[in-house]
Amino acid sequence: MKYYITTPIFYPNASPHIGTAYTTVAADAFARYHRMKGDDVYFLTGTDENAQKIVQTAEGKGLDPKAYVDGVVERFKALWDELDISNDDFIRTTEERHHKVVKEIFTKLYEQGDIYKSEYEGWYCTPCETFWTENKLIDGKCPNPDCGREVELLKEESYFFKLSKYQDDLLNYIKENPEFIQPVSRRNEMVKFIEGGLEDLCVSRTTFQWGIQVPFDPKHVVYVWLDALINYISALDYPDGELYHKFWPAEVHLMGKDIVRFHAVIWPIILIALGVPLPKLVYGHGWFLSKEGGKISKSRGNVQDSFELINRYGSDAIRYFLLREMQVGTDGTYSEDNLVDRLNSDLANDLGNFVSRSLAMIVKYRGGIIPQASEDTALEAELKTLCQEVKAQVEERLEAHDPAGALENLWRFVSRLNKYVDETAPWALAKQEGEQARLDTVLHTFAEAIRILAILSAPFMPKLPGKIVRLLGVEEGFIRWEDASRWDILEPGIQVEKGEPLFPRVDLSQYDLEQESKKTVNEINTTEKMNETIAQAPNQVEGKAPDKLVNTEAPAQEAEAEFEPIKDEISIDDFAKIDLRVAKVLAAEKVQKADKLLKLEIEVAGKPRTIVSGIAQHYAPEELVGKYVVIVANLKPVKLRGIMSEGMILAASHGTVLEVLSLDKEIAAGARVK
Ligand SMILES: [Zn+2]
């Protein structure tokens, strides 16, 4: 099967930022997945360089436009390299191969009467490169909410493309091919827009010379969309190139929702007029918005340097964050602390921790040699069934262009694996002579699960598989999509390594953040995260560095962990400051998106309170309801995941075991404990 995927060509008027990276990262994940499935993939991205604004920006910097765009294009290419984008081609609309095809198409459309010469008059905003009709202007200025600048009345001779002529053909096509524009909400918008009537499109300008000249009338240059959209076939050497015959029509044009209109209206009409088949899918995803709700853009000052972010957190983590955070049909929220949150919880705690724990145990109990598995128990059987199911769902979600959904499903497997470690308790098996064969099976299952995780996460995080195969002591050839549902790939006897943590936890406060206002936000969040870390480890005390509280050590070592040293002496007065009370648990529920946290509604001395506690991996919410527990009643409230937690529940913990302190006999909720 062939698979042709494109991103829009980006406008090189400024360096790319993380908000613009989403489309390319998502397209890359789809391209990688299809390659792994064995499809013949062509992945195109590029830059849109023939705009008047480029000339103005270059002039403003005292540069020749070509020299200026060359520089910006290098930044784009460098960013795609840093993000491990695996594009097969990068087209620049200043290239001769593109000019040639645009000229041919323009001439053909003119000769068949679909392009005609007329006169254009309108209010023109140069920064937006848009003509506005008088009634659209706001106070006589550009109505674009991001702009609002002066506009000028321009009248000029122009060529026009007959969009109106093909309006009904396009409507019929969209109705007959409901899959053509997605998500559905975008298709409905487009249908309404087309039904409202299409105006012919201005496709040439005479007020500037930068761009592609109209071959039969060289004072005109081809204007914006007719030029830009053609990149999708000029890159394939339309109409006679081998690539064109092989890869057109595209399986998907991927883009942000703001430019769906051009791809779902102008582009198909150009193709219909040329008698060329239409792409199979135009997919418009949402935007990344800043925490305050606005679009991320340079002019709003909420952009961070992408290179610095990658340097700080690694490209896999950035890719994971972008892909996980943008839900289908909605916008995503970008902020550095969201990113760190995802990195710490999903990558360091869930995925990274599973890999380190399991490898550490293979090293500890079998000298790093993967043992031979014997018979499965119900636990392994359940794991394997889940793995099949998850693989099918990851595929289904990727086919539906929903990377967030794919990752969500994959993480069901990751969570199950962490639970499997606790359920099988290899550290206990290791101590029993009769359980050695069982321990071998568990350790072999760990190794296979790590290999499967490397395969299923490869489209999203391309660096991870390489790291994992090195730890497993195998070749990259072990990363085969079809092997993600097999558990008999790793031969006994392979030597594994414990290695460094794959995703070290990040403490945001270590970074010196430039803006003071920003710093405040981040400080609050860091404190919040620290509180959370403490809540997740109730046996620990405040004041330790957060990374020390994180379970990156193998539980095998934990289970045999030394007891914590007894703390320094305090006086009875010190102890009297701590107000311990009996509380009754009225209700309990999981905190969304936080695997370790439970939100408890309790009653103390006739009053209700809320406490967030890091015990979700040890107690189901319903187990706690009705219990009489002990709380620190005068602990300063802290905010955890947006919930104000008023106090702390006491629990005893050692190794991987945790027990909440509760009373055998009922006693009034509010009774003092001393
Ligand atoms: Zn404007």
Per the structure block, which two tokens stand in for 29?
A: 């994940």
DSSP state letter for 355: H
- What separation in Å is there between the alpha carbon of 456 and the centre of ligand 1? 44
Instruction: Provide the pLDDT for residue 52.
Output: 80
What is the rounded average pLDDT of the residues 637-658? 82
CA 106 to centroid of ligand 1, rounded, Å: 28
CA of 135 to the centre of ligand 1 (A): 15
Q: Where are the alpha helices (DSSP H) in 61-183?
A: 65-82, 96-111, 167-176
Ligand 1 centroid–CA 141 distance in Å is: 8
Q: Where are the alpha helices (DSSP H) in 343-483?
A: 353-366, 378-399, 403-424, 426-429, 436-457, 463-472
For residue 153, the CA-to-ligand 1 centroid distance in Å is 13
pLDDT band at 636 (very low <50, low <70, confident <90, very high): confident
Chain segment 194-211, per-residue pLDDT in tens: 999 999 999 998 878 899
- pLDDT value of residue 538: 30
The packing angle between helices 18-36 and 306-313, to 10°, is: 60
368 vs 331 pLDDT, higher one: 368
- Compute the distance from residue 395 Cα to the ligand 1 centre, in Å: 42
574 pLDDT exceeds 60?
A: yes
Q: How far is the CA of 128 from the centre of ligand 1 (A)?
A: 4
Confidence of residue 64 (pLDDT cuts 50, 70, 90): very high
pLDDT for the residue 415: 97
The secondary structure of residue 283, as a DSSP letter, is E
β partners of residue 598: 590, 613
Which pLDDT belongs to residue 605? 87
Distance, CA 332 to ligand 1 centroid (Å)? 25
Distance from residue 150's CA to the centre of ligand 1 (Å):
8
pLDDT one-digit tens code per residue, 215-239:
999 999 998 899 999 999 999 999 9
| 95: confidence class by pLDDT, cuts 50, 70, 90 | very high
Give distance in angstroms: CA of 48 to centre of ligand 1. Answer: 19
Report how far ligand 1's centroid is from the alpha carbon of 42 (Å).
Answer: 36
Rounded to the nearest angstrom, the distance between the alpha carbon of 232 and the centre of ligand 1 is 27
For residue 674, the model assigns a pLDDT of 86
Structure tokens at 132: 């506005």
Can you tell me the mean pLDDT for 283-295? 83
Residues of the chain with pLDDT > 90, as a percent, come to: 62
CA 144 to centroid of ligand 1, rounded, Å: 6
pLDDT tens digits for range 501-514: 999 998 877 654 44
Q: State whether residue 554 is helix, strand or coil.
A: coil
Nearest to 215 by CA among 273, 275, 159: 159
Pull the structure tokens for residue 387: 């793995």
Closest CA to 645 of 637, 653, 654, 636: 637
3-state secondary structure of 502: coil
- Tell me which residue of 109, 99, 124 sits closest to 218, measured CA to CA: 99
The pLDDT value recorded for residue 298 is 54
Expressed in angstroms and rounded, the spacing between residue 554 Cα and the centre of ligand 1 is 58
The CA dihedral of 321, 322, 327, 328, to the nearest 10 degrees, is -150
pLDDT value, residue 370 = 97
Beta-carbon count within 10 A of 524 CB = 12
CA of 56 to the centre of ligand 1 (A): 14
45 contacts 6 by C-beta, under 8 angstroms: yes
- Residue 381: strand, helix, or coil: helix
Give me the mean pLDDT over the 523-536 stretch: 34
What value does the mean pLDDT of the chain take? 87
626 has pLDDT over 90: no
501-516 CB burial, b ≥16 within 10 A, e <16: ebbbbbbbbeeebeee
State the Cα–Cα distance between residues 190 and 261, nearest whole angstrom. Answer: 7
Q: For residue 526, name the pLDDT band (cuts at 50, 70, 90).
A: very low
Min mean pLDDT across 227-236, 340-349, 360-369, 517-526 is at 517-526
- Digit-coded pLDDT (tens) for 640-649: 777 888 898 9
Residue 144 pLDDT: 85
Contact (Cβ atoms closer than 8 angstroms) between residue 492 and residue 371:
yes
- 151 Cα: distance to centroid of ligand 1 (angstroms): 7
Q: Which residues pair with 333 in a beta bridge?
A: 289
The mean pLDDT value for 314-338 works out to: 92
Task: Give the contacts of 152 (CB within 8 A, at least 6 positions apart).
Answer: 123, 124, 126
Task: State the distance between the two ends of the chain, measured CA to CA, in whole angstroms.
Answer: 72
Q: Which of residues 1 and 127 earns the better pLDDT score?
A: 1
- How large is the average pLDDT for residues 569-590? 86
Burial class (CB in 10 A: 0-12, 13-18, 19+), 613: buried
pLDDT at 555: 35
Dihedral angle computed from the Cα positions of residues 641, 646, 650 and 653, in that order, rounded to the nearest 10 degrees: 10
CA of 249 to the centre of ligand 1 (A): 34
Query: How many angstroms is it from 248 CA to the middle of ligand 1?
Result: 35
Ligand 1 center from residue 220 Cα (angstroms): 23
b/e string for 316-346 if b means 16 or more Cβ within 10 A?
Answer: bbbbbbbbbbbebeebbebbbbebbbbbbbb
Determine the Cα–Cα distance for residues 425 and 442; give it in Å rounded to an integer: 9
| Residue 109 confidence (pLDDT) | 98
For 90-105, what is the mean pLDDT? 98
Range among 120-124, 229-233, 608-612, 662-666 with highest mean pLDDT value: 229-233
Find the 53 Cα to ligand 1 centroid distance in Å: 12
Under the banding of pLDDT at 50, 70 and 90, the label for residue 329 is confident
Tell me if 19 sits within 8 A of 10, measured CB to CB: no
- Stronger pLDDT, 213 or 300, i.e. the higher one: 213
Distance 15 CA to ligand 1 centre (A): 20
pLDDT at residue number 304: 65
Q: Is residue 528's pLDDT more than 50?
A: no
SS3 of 398-428: the string is HHCCCHHHHHHHHHHHHHHHHHHHHHHCHHH
DSSP E strands: which ranges in 426-574? Answer: none
Question: Can you tell me the distance from the alpha carbon of 101 to that of 107, in angstroms, rounded to the nearest whole number?
Answer: 10
145 CA from centroid of ligand 1 (Å): 8
pLDDT at 192: 94
The pair of three-digit structure tokens given for residue 375, joined into one six-digit string: 């018979």
Residue 154 one-letter amino acid:
L
pLDDT in tens, 409-435: 999 999 999 999 999 999 999 999 999
Centre of ligand 1 to C-alpha 17, Å, is 21
Distance 282 CA to ligand 1 centre (A): 27
Give me the pLDDT at residue 132, please: 84
Q: Where is average pLDDT lowest: 89-98, 415-424, 441-450, 624-633?
A: 624-633
Phi, psi (deg, nearest 5) at residue 654:
-155, 130
CA of 123 to the centre of ligand 1 (A): 10
Specify which of 127-141, 451-465, 581-595 reaches the highest per-range mean pLDDT: 451-465
Q: What proportion of the chain, given as a percentage, has pLDDT over 70?
A: 90
CA angle 622, 627, 631 (to 5 degrees): 115
Q: Please determine, for residue 114, whether its predicted confidence score (pLDDT) is greater than 50.
A: yes
Contact 462, 86 (CB under 8 A): yes
Amino acid at 613: S
Is 60 exceeded by the pLDDT of residue 311? yes
Calculate how far, in angstroms, residue 404's C-alpha sits from the geometric centre of ligand 1: 34
Q: Which residues in 196-230 are b (16+ Cβ under 10 Å) and which e? A: eebebbbbbbbeeebbbbbeeeeebbbbbbbbbbb
Peptide bond preceding 277 in cis form (omega within 30 of 0) = no
Buried b (16+ CB within 10 A) or exposed e, 618-654: bbebeebeebbbbbbbeeeebebbeeebbbbbbbebe
Distance between Cα 132 and ligand 1 center (Å): 9
Q: Which of 72-81, 287-296, 492-501, 593-602 has the lowest mean pLDDT?
A: 287-296
564 falls in which pLDDT band (50, 70, 90)?
low
Measured at the CA of 358, the angle between CA 356 and CA 364, to 5 degrees, comes to 100
Q: Which residues pair with 252 in a beta bridge?
A: 5
